[in-house]
A and B are shown apart, each in its own frame.
Chain A
């Protein structure tokens, strides 16, 4: 199954996990402590995030630490670009509305 970053950020718990490990690498246990859900549920989210290549694992002693793949987060920028386009279109319309209103004012 193909996974992508939008799947990763489509879930509120996963977004919260991203925010957490963006600050520092954390063990699954430390992450799970932050949530009101089971350790299994958190593991599942971590697995999906790993499959989306959004987080990486690192062994340190006996513990596994999860941290964020910053470059991957940049894909979100593309998605933000679409949001920008909404405003661009909106403002193009407003520019025209203002032009029309100005003409009307001048005719008065």
Chain B
């Protein structure tokens, strides 16, 4: 889908932090729901051809989302997002960690901070992801990406091959 909605993505390698800013052509309540409701999250969280499958989601402070990214072969990559702070329709934070299928987290994880605001019917979401290491970022790429998109497939294969080592 072509549109002129802002999408900004920057990485501060020194701070191992990813900054993402994205505008959506929808009101804030709807965008908030899309980020915080299991049914809607699973529709978009995984980049194709992956599927997002949420097993448990309890959106409250101290609660968690336990979900898998499922590749076309049915292989599951599990992760846990533990909610640490929620200000309804404004901001929420969670600690993200990879996990096994029995919900044993592989620590340390990354800290996520998502802020929502609305201006003239456009909702802006700011995401800040603090990683403890570059290795984690590699892992995130593997998790969301391995089977790849069609566009830069050849180049990609080379890079991924070296990442997987």
Q: Contact at A95–B47, with CB atoms within 8 Å?
A: no
B25 in contact (CB, < 8 A): yes
A15-B133, A82-B141, A82-B145 known; A98+B48 contact, CB < 8 A: no
Contacting residues, chain B, for A4 (C-beta < 8 A):
162
Q: Which of A10, A89, A92 contacts B165 (CB 8 A)?
A: A10
| Residue among B43, B45, B162 with most chain A CB within 10 A | B162
Q: Which of B25, B152, B165 contacts A7 (CB 8 A)?
A: B165
Contacting residues, chain B, for A80 (C-beta < 8 A):
11, 13, 137
Q: Contact at A89–B48, with CB atoms within 8 Å?
A: yes
Q: How far is the CB of A93 from chain B (nearest CB, A)?
A: 4
A15-B135, A76-B13 known; A98+B149 contact, CB < 8 A: no
Q: Contact at A92–B162, with CB atoms within 8 Å?
A: no
Q: Mark B8-24, 1 if CB is under 8 A from A, else 0.
A: 01010110001010101
Task: Report B65-112 residues with CB < 8 Å from chain A CB.
Answer: none
Query: Inter-chain contact count A-B, CB under 8 Å?
Result: 103
Contact residues on B (Cβ < 8 Å of other chain), bracket = 35 or more
- Taking CB as reference atom, which chain B residue is nearest A89? B47
* Complex-state Cα separation, A82 to B11, whole angstroms: 12
Contacting residues, chain B, for A7 (C-beta < 8 A):
162, 165
Contacting residues, chain A, for B124 (C-beta < 8 A):
none
Contacting residues, chain B, for A85 (C-beta < 8 A):
145, 149, 151
| Residue among B13, B44, B141, B144 with most chain A CB within 10 A | B44
Task: Report A82-104 residues with CB < 8 Å from chain B CB.
Answer: 82-99, 101-102
* Complex-state Cα separation, A94 to B30, whole angstroms: 11
Q: Contact at A10–B11, with CB atoms within 8 Å?
A: no
Q: Contact at B11–A95, with CB atoms within 8 Å?
A: no
A15-B133, A76-B13 known; A95+B40 contact, CB < 8 A: no
9 A–B contact pairs at CB < 8 A?
Answer: A6-B162, A79-B159, A79-B163, A85-B151, A89-B47, A91-B44, A98-B25, A98-B34, A99-B26
Interface positions of A (Cβ within 8 A of B)? 4, 6-7, 9-10, 12, 15, 22, 73, 76, 78-80, 82-99, 101-102, 105
Q: Beyond the given A85-B151, A102-B26, please list 9 additional residue pairs across the A-B interface where CB-CB is below 8 A.
A: A6-B159, A6-B163, A79-B163, A85-B149, A86-B144, A87-B20, A95-B1, A97-B40, A97-B44
Q: Give 8 closest A-B pairs by Cβ, nearest first.
A: A93-B44, A6-B162, A89-B47, A94-B44, A98-B26, A84-B9, A86-B144, A80-B11
